[in-house]
Amino acid sequence: MRAIRYHEYGDESVLSLDEVPKPNPGAGEVRVAIEAASVNPIDAKLRSGLLEPTAGLPHVCGVDLAGVVDAVGAGVTRLEPGDRVYGTGFGWKDDGTYAEYAAVPAAGLATLPDAVSFETGAAAALVCATAWRGLVTRGDLRVGETCLVHGASGGVGHVAVQIAVNAGATVVGTARGEEATAFVEGLGATAVVDYREDDLADAVRASLAGRPVDVVLDSHADKHIETDLAAVGRGGRVVVIGQGARAALTPERALAAMFDDADIRFMSIMASMDDQRRVLTAVSPLLAAGSIDPVIEAAYPLAEAADAMAHAASPGVLGKIVIGTTE
């Protein structure tokens, strides 16, 4: 089968289209004939060596997939060949999903409804699991609350806005530029604030007519943790899903947050494969109904995975970049 691998760490130039043996599913695993995968920031973190794949190099890129079950390993009863599936959380311990086939834990796969295309399933898998688990499971977002989503035009952010709106929240997104602002407003956000604002917390509160924020989904905590705590009110929950550098808090801000009983919570979809499958099972009907609609800015064939990764890493992407395995 064909797979996109890297034999050394580096930029997109280290990627090669290799012919490799089809993997066999072990106990508790299924082999999926992959129709589509999507590009996520973690792919570049692994490829660059910032994070290291557990089994070392060479390594197949990619952490999510949508496709059809092709073979099942010992002990798997929930899935059978021919089932349409999607899932994420793969490709770190073992080889990933920029490939024609992958052997992955059955526990991480949810059923992909017939009404949802493989491309949409792949675009949705990691970001919907992240946004839902961040906002609903860890953030306890409730009807009528207010929600701040950072990076609202990006992969996670653009589905987080839709999930929060569906949950009955009033949503403020942060984004940069007119096109991204219009995009996020079109997803149902009440307001969009430029994440480069000097006083972002003030701008967020003003956009909510003075109401404090109940839940923040923060993918850039090193930049925004102070803003988040200044924007939330009593009992506010800040859910951190990404932090590119050291995050610092002044004692005054920390004290104010203590007086507010505010929480900083951390969330990774890698924490639980069962949980992540349960989340995607809850997301599936919303994808089928179009209530959550992942936006695909561009789709590339497998052989052009390097271009797909370069595109995804460029600023201004609206939604997701997808890689299809059929030419």
Ligand X SMILES: NC(=O)c1ccc[n+]([C@@H]2O[C@H](COP(=O)([O-])OP(=O)(O)OC[C@H]3O[C@@H](n4cnc5c(N)ncnc54)[C@H](OP(=O)(O)O)[C@@H]3O)[C@@H](O)[C@H]2O)c1
Question: Cα angle vertex 48, ends 31, 45, to 5°?
Answer: 65
DSSP 106: G
Question: Considering the rule CB under 6 A, would residue 268 count as an interface residue with ligand X?
Answer: yes
Quick one: which of 97, 153, 276, 325 contacts ligand X (CB under 6 A)?
153
The strand pairing partners of 87, in sequence order, are 65, 109
Closer to ligand X by Cβ: residue 69 or 295? 295
Contact 228, 95 (CB under 8 A): no
Contacting residue, 105, 242, 294, 324, with ligand X by CB under 6 A: 242
Q: What is the contact mask toward ligand X in residues 196 to 235, using x (rule: CB under 6 A)?
A: -----------------------xx--x------------
Q: Residue 232 and residue 256: Cα distance in Å, rounded?
A: 10
Using CB atoms within 10 A of its CB, is residue 22 exposed (0-12), middle (13-18) or buried (19+)? middle
CB nearer to ligand X: pick between 23 and 155 = 155
Using CA atoms, how far apart are residues 26 and 5, in angstroms rounded to an integer? Answer: 21
**CB-based burial of residue 183 (10 Å sphere; 0-12 exposed, 13-18 middle, 19+ buried)?**
buried
Within 8 A by CB and 6+ apart from 304, the residues are none
With contact defined as beta carbons under 8 Å apart, do 222 and 195 qualify?
Answer: no
Residues 77-116 vs ligand X: string with x where CB under 6 A? ----------------------------------------
Q: Kindly report whether the peptide bond that precedes residue 58 is cis, defined as omega within 30 degrees of 0.
A: yes
**Residue 191 lies near ligand X (rule: CB under 6 A):** no
Q: Does 151 bind ligand X (CB under 6 A)?
A: yes
> Would you say 76 or 221 has its CB closer to ligand X?
221
DSSP state of 209: T
**Contacting range for ligand X; rule: CB under 6 A; set: 74-82, 246-254, 263-271, 276-284:** 263-271
Residue 76 or 267: which CB sits closer to ligand X? Answer: 267
* DSSP states of 49-79: TSS--TT-SSEE--SEEEEEEEEE-TT--S-
Identified binder of ligand X from the candidate list 155, 173, 236, 294, rule CB under 6 A: 155
Q: Binder to ligand X among 267, 286, 287, 292 (CB under 6 A)?
A: 267
Q: What are phi and psi of 40, to 5 degrees?
A: -130, 155
Residue from 130, 207, 276, 325 in contact with ligand X (CB under 6 A): 130
In the bound state, the residue with its beta carbon closest to ligand X is 154
**Which pair of tokens denotes residue 135?**
């906002």
| Nearer Cβ to ligand X (144/315) | 315
Judged by beta carbon, residue 34 or residue 192, the one nearer ligand X is 192
Token readout for 259 is: 């007086």
* Interacting residues with ligand X between 20 and 59 (CB under 6 A): 40-42
- Closest CA relative to residue 40, chosen from 97, 95, 102, 93: 97
Q: Which of 150, 205, 237, 277 binds ligand X (CB under 6 A)?
A: 150
Q: How far is the CB of 214 from ligand X (least distance, A)?
A: 19
Nearer to ligand X, 59 or 220 (CB): 220
Q: Which residues bind ligand X (CB under 6 A)?
A: 40-42, 126-127, 130, 150-151, 153-157, 174, 176, 195, 219-220, 223, 241-242, 267-269, 315-317
